[in-house]
Structure 1
């Protein structure tokens, strides 16, 4: 009799445990988000280059860019591996070069090319600080429960210059300027980021000039920005 009761007790206990396991499995399945989004914070470090440089202008040293922000994800297909992205971010961009921005005796801006054979200097750069709106078409291999995946994001980045400055240090002393009128307030370009998981290559190609109104030898300075680096996406 005791063996029968023991058997019944074990049977009921095992049945209860198995039922609870099934309930847990069901709850896990139900918790998988079929409407998931890849909303992401991002941080990028770039090496900044100048394109369309007038003759005689060259870069030296490391010109850096730092970019951070948040992108909201809007899937456009049932599988949710294609989406639109709209974001908001901030960036700082510096460019080291031999393009001198100074002021004449009347306080008017003037632009010239530095020749190291004539003028020695240790620093000559300009910097912009921008608020940015990235707009992306996004493709990825992610699923609702897989956060390590391949991605290719392409789009445009629209930036508004909040503040700009230039700095020279050398034989001419220290020359500092800020809020320079000849910078384009709006700067925009094409972007692409591609990679797997955390590590992604990032490229930006400026579609409009950095300057508006700057000239050398009566010719417009139409330099644009090219940025190449790494971008990190964080869920």
Structure 2
């Protein structure tokens, strides 16, 4: 998916660059960027997943991510269709599991992904692992119509994240027979991040029209620390809304 996004962006960007050169040669008016839409606010939502993960640690259910960033935008002087975007914000992944218990409080060297589907112990009907990062995204942007911000837009870049918090949340405890435990909605929450890499680096890409685009990212760094478990590569695919 990411490779297709990058290939499409490069092709459209090259086409846009050729058109810009033709406009200059034809003596058309200079592009006025005084009222340019700079996409200072970026909101992203969609599907989160783990690649290169063994069955013993494979997520289940609808895992999702939510990111919001505040960005600055600096157009290139000689190529106003292109700009450099950079900023900061919060990125969060919610990875759901079915019949698994992820024990962040474990004292051993590796993070346990315990299969509780046939366990005689109690388990949770809903269980997720949430990670929250302070992200610093940087991207090269392309806009087919930089004066209005309408039309084709795309970007490729990187984002560096600093892990702020990691926790698991279990909801609705059930017994080994499937009976609901406790009278009301029961929630268990455990927080610890010593198994998880304190930083992440991911490649990013966007392609869309106007304020709405498809967005994707793929982590270059492993989710877990070396020796703490399988080499997991998180990815995101979803929708981005940009504006201001």
Q: What residue number does 1:17 align with?
A: none
Q: What residue number does 2:243 align with?
A: 234
C-alpha contact 1:159 1:188 (8 A) present in aligned 2: yes
Counterpart among 101, 124, 130 of residue 127 in structure 1: 130
Superposition RMSD on alpha carbons, in Å? 2.6
Q: What residue number does 2:83 align with?
A: 83
Deviations 1:201-224 (A, max 9, x none): 000101111111564xxxx32112
Deviations 1:100-128 (A, max 9, x none): 32278xx6255033142336531221101
Q: What residue number does 1:179 align with?
A: 192
Structure with the greater relative contact order (CA < 8 A, sep ≥ 6): 1 or 2? 2
Q: What residue number does 1:154 align with?
A: 156
| Residues 1:168 and 1:39: Cα distance change in structure 2 (over 3 Å) | closer
- Distance in 2, matches of 1:33 and 1:51, equals 41
Any stretches of 5+ residues in structure 2 without a counterpart? Answer: 1-28, 182-186
- Distance in 2, matches of 1:116 and 1:222, equals 24
Relative to structure 2, which stretch is displaced further, 194-203 or 204-213? Answer: 204-213
C-alpha contact 2:43 2:68 (8 A) present in aligned 1: yes
Q: What residue number does 2:115 align with?
A: 114
- Distance in 1, matches of 2:83 and 2:142, equals 7
Structure with the greater alpha carbon radius of gyration: 1
- Distance in 2, matches of 1:52 and 1:199, equals 30
The Cα of 1:34 is off from its aligned counterpart by: 5.3
- Distance in 2, matches of 1:194 and 1:43, equals 14
C-alpha contact 2:53 2:230 (8 A) present in aligned 1: yes
C-alpha contact 2:101 2:116 (8 A) present in aligned 1: no
C-alpha contact 1:182 1:214 (8 A) present in aligned 2: no
The Cα of 1:39 is off from its aligned counterpart by: 4.5
Any stretches of 5+ residues in structure 1 without a counterpart? Answer: 1-28
C-alpha contact 1:209 1:222 (8 A) present in aligned 2: yes
Deviations 1:138-165 (A, max 9, x none): 1111233x23121110001111111110
Q: How many residues align?
A: 198
Q: What residue number does 1:11 align with?
A: none
- TM-score for the superposition, normalised by structure 1: 0.74
- TM-score for the superposition, normalised by structure 2: 0.72
